[in-house]
């Protein structure tokens, strides 16, 4: 089966921050997990480069939009590599191949009779690139997200007949109750639709930085129409000489809740208008907060993900954000929180389990994992963890799946405490028992590491190598399935404790 997963494409009006890394890592965890299961995965991310958000930021910096886009797109590409994301393609909406397919699809929407010339009169936020109703404004006439004063605009442009899709959208929501999750976001989108849909501008008359409207090149296509189409256009040119659309479309989208309306209302209507199948699903996550405020470049309270990774490593970042904040909801993160979880969970629990296990097999069995059957009690306790992780990740419960795995990590540490292998080692008559305990520990460590692999690919990869068991396929995630007899390799300390003073 194919599994096509996407992140939003990020605006290049500023440098990436931790919020961007968050969605990209989430998509990567799902992509890696599905590859473990042998699915045919395609993972897309990229940058959104047209429209006022970028044009105005470039103007403020005194450079051209293209220069700004080139510079910041590269930073997003660096971030993707640095968080260890295994994306299959990185799209830029300034790619000529993207622009061509955008024009084709928009032309089809026009030919199908869903576009008309009209006049937009109302408020527009250039940072959101979004038309705002009066009810949405705060403090008189400020954007509710960016808190900047909005001007009333009047502009002749092309309109997309979103209102004509009210009924088809309601039907879509009725037929597919889990096409937007979590449920609260489904309810939010549906109630927005039920309030009655207004037509939306499909083009901008005053802006030059964008894709020209094919039948009226004096205007550019509205940036959201251009951007949403990235999910579709990418498949047509991501592989040279090959069109992947039939193989992977429709997509599963991961987005933040800030862009729900575009993805859950406008996007499916556009696709219906162009006679293209709507997405398989949309999962909407919450905000990473700093001191209870959304982390965002406009509020200036962003954490630099590169700095975090310099200090704690990539795997720690990948672990921490999903452990600390329940994926789907909002949650606060902090430097102190990073440090606490790093020491308490990665250093003391997982790292310690690994180093103790390897050290004991080294000391008591010359570095060779004993070949004995798995401990039955432990087997019973770990049975079903792999199935539950899989079920949770099938519904994008990234935090819930991690909690399942972590319960198993803790169970293994308790096993060490209960069995006290260092005592068994002193008793000749307990040699068989010690074999059993050491095998169970090596096997338990292997088992949790295969499950953890999508979250922390680098450290689990090294550990599995050291265990002589590099297979990360999901079918190998069965406790007791790998035979003993492997000779252990070297492993540098995985998560050395950070002393608070040194970390400050
Ligand atoms: O909206 N917490 O781009 P953008 C969690 N170009 N996630 C966050 C976050 C936070 N504090 N801040 C940002 C755009 N994100 C458009 C999208 S898609 C066709 C076009 C993440 O650069 C989250 O995924 O503002 C959010 O939806 C996205 O970054 C917005 O990125």
Of 96, 41, 36, 23, give the one whose Cα is nearest residue 475. 36
Residue with tokens 């403020």: 60
- Which atom of ligand 1 is nearest the CA belonging to 263? 19
Is residue 20 part of the annotated active site? The answer reads: yes
Is residue 125 part of the annotated active site? The answer reads: yes
228 lines ligand 1 (CB under 6 A): yes
| 287 C-alpha to ligand 1 centroid (Å) | 9
What is the Cα–Cα distance from 185 to 164, expressed in whole angstroms?
Answer: 23
367-407 pLDDT per residue, tens? 999 999 989 999 999 999 999 999 999 999 999 999 999 99
Is residue 253 part of the annotated active site? The answer reads: no
- Ligand 1 test: best mutation among 6, 7, 9, 23, most atoms within 8 Å of CB? 23
- Which atom of ligand 1 is nearest the CA belonging to 13? 22
| 255 C-alpha to ligand 1 centroid (Å) | 7
For residues 357 and 486, the answer to whether their CB atoms sit within 8 Å is no
Is residue 453 part of the annotated active site? The answer reads: no
| 405 C-alpha to ligand 1 centroid (Å) | 28
| 20 C-alpha to ligand 1 centroid (Å) | 6
Ligand 1 atom 31, closest CA: 10
- Ligand 1 test: best mutation among 7, 211, 259, most atoms within 8 Å of CB? 259
- How far is C-alpha 44 from the geometric centre of its chain's CA atoms? 10
What is the Cα–Cα distance from 253 to 6, expressed in whole angstroms?
Answer: 5
Of 44, 42, 47, give the one whose Cα is nearest residue 246. 42
What's the full length of the chain, in residues?
504
For residues 14 and 79, the answer to whether their CB atoms sit within 8 Å is no
Number of H helices, E strands in the chain: 22, 16
Collapsing DSSP to helix, strand or coil, 451 comes out as helix
Ligand 1 atom 4, closest CA: 10
Ligand 1 atom 11, closest CA: 295
6 lines ligand 1 (CB under 6 A): no
Of 458, 462, 418, 474, give the one whose Cα is nearest residue 441. 418
- Which atom of ligand 1 is nearest the CA belonging to 288? 2
The pLDDT of residue 301: 82
Ligand 1 atom 7, closest CA: 19
| 257 C-alpha to ligand 1 centroid (Å) | 8
Round to the nearest angstrom and report the end-to-end CA distance of the chain: 47
Phi, psi torsion values for 242, nearest 5 degrees: -140, 140
Is residue 297 part of the annotated active site? The answer reads: yes
Give the 3-state DSSP-derived string for 238-271, with helices as H, strands as E and coil as C. CECCECCHHHHCCCEEEEEHHHHHHHHHHHHHHH
Collapsing DSSP to helix, strand or coil, 157 comes out as strand
260 lines ligand 1 (CB under 6 A): no
- Which atom of ligand 1 is nearest the CA belonging to 258? 27
| 12 C-alpha to ligand 1 centroid (Å) | 11
Is residue 294 part of the annotated active site? The answer reads: yes
258 lines ligand 1 (CB under 6 A): yes
Pairing of strands 281-285, 252-256: parallel
The pLDDT of residue 127: 85
Q: Which of 294, 392, 453, 462 is catalytic?
A: 294
- Ligand 1 test: best mutation among 12, 19, 75, 291, most atoms within 8 Å of CB? 19
| 461 C-alpha to ligand 1 centroid (Å) | 30
Bridge partners (DSSP) of residue 213 are 216
Of 27, 132, 174, 9, give the one whose Cα is nearest residue 87. 27
Q: Which of 33, 50, 132, 143 is catalytic?
A: 143
| 463 C-alpha to ligand 1 centroid (Å) | 34
The pLDDT of residue 504: 43
For residues 304 and 17, the answer to whether their CB atoms sit within 8 Å is yes
Residue with tokens 């006290």: 420
The pLDDT of residue 402: 98
The pLDDT of residue 263: 98
For residues 177 and 323, the answer to whether their CB atoms sit within 8 Å is no
Residue with tokens 């498949």: 235
Q: Which of 297, 392, 453, 462 is catalytic?
A: 297
What is the Cα–Cα distance from 262 to 231, expressed in whole angstroms?
Answer: 13
Of 80, 10, 87, give the one whose Cα is nearest residue 42. 87
pTM: 0.96
The pLDDT of residue 272: 98
What is the Cα–Cα distance from 81 to 68, expressed in whole angstroms?
Answer: 20
255 lines ligand 1 (CB under 6 A): yes
What is the Cα–Cα distance from 260 to 94, expressed in whole angstroms?
Answer: 24
For residues 93 and 227, the answer to whether their CB atoms sit within 8 Å is yes
Name the strand (E) or helix (H) holding 180: strand 180-181
Residues with pLDDT less than 70, the chain: 501-504
321 lines ligand 1 (CB under 6 A): no
């Amino acid at each position: 089966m194919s599994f096509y997963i996407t992140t939003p494409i990020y605006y290049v009006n500023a440098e990436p921050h931790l919020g961007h890394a968050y969605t990209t890592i989430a998509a990567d965890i799902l992509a890696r997990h599905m590859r473990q299961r042998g699915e045919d995965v395609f993972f897309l991310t990229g940058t959104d480069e047209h429209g006022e958000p970028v044009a105005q930021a470039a103007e403020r910096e005194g450079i051209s939009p293209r220069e700004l886009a080139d510079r910041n797109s590269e930073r997003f590409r660096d971030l993707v590599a640095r968080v260890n994301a295994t994306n299959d393609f990185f799209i830029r909406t300034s790619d000529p191949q993207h622009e061509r397919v955008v024009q084709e699809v928009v032309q089809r929407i026009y030919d199908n009779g869903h576009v008309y010339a009209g006049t937009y009169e109302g408020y527009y936020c250039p940072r959101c690139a979004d038309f705002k109703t009066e009810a949405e404004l705060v403090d008189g006439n400020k954007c509710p997200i960016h808190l900047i004063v909005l001007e009333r605009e009047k502009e002749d442009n092309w309109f997309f007949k979103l209102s004509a899709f009210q009924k088809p959208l309601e039907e879509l929501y009725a037929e597919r109750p889990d096409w937007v999750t979590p449920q609260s976001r489904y309810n939010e989108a549906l109630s927005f639709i039920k309030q009655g849909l207004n037509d939306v501008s499909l083009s901008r008359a005053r802006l030059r930085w964008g894709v020209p409207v094919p039948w009226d090149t004096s205007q550019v296509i509205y940036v959201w129409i251009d951007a949403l189409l990235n999910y579709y256009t990418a498949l047509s040119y991501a592989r040279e000489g090959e069109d992947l659309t039939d193989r992977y479309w429709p997509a599963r989208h991961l987005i933040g809740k800030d862009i729900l309306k575009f993805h859950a209302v406008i996007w499916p209507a556009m696709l219906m208008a162009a006679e293209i199948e709507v997405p398989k699903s949309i999962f909407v996550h919450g905000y990473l907060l700093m001191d209870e405020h959304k982390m965002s470049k406009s509020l200036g309270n962003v954490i630099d993900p590169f700095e975090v990774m310099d200090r704690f490593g990539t795997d720690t970042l990948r672990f921490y954000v999903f452990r600390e904040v329940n994926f789907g909801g909002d949650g606060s993160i902090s430097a102190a929180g990073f440090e606490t979880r790093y020491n308490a969970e990665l250093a003391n629990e997982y790292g310690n389990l690994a180093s103790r296990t390897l050290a004991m097999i080294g000391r008591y069995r010359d570095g060779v994992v004993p070949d004995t059957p798995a401990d039955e009690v432990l087997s019973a306790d770990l049975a079903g963890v792999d199935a539950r992780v899989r079920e949770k990740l099938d519904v994008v419960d990234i935090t819930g799946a991690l909690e399942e795995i972590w319960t198993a990590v803790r169970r293994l540490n308790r096993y060490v405490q209960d069995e006290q292998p260092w005592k068994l080692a002193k008793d000749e008559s307990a040699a068989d028992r010690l074999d059993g305990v050491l095998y169970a520990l090596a096997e338990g460590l292997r088992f949790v590491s295969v499950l953890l692999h999508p979250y922390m690919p680098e450290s689990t990869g090294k550990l599995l190598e050291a265990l002589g068991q590099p297979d990360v396929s999901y079918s190998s995630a069965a406790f007791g399935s790998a035979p003993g007899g492997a000779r252990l390799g070297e492993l540098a300390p995985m998560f050395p404790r950070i002393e608070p003073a040194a970390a400050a």
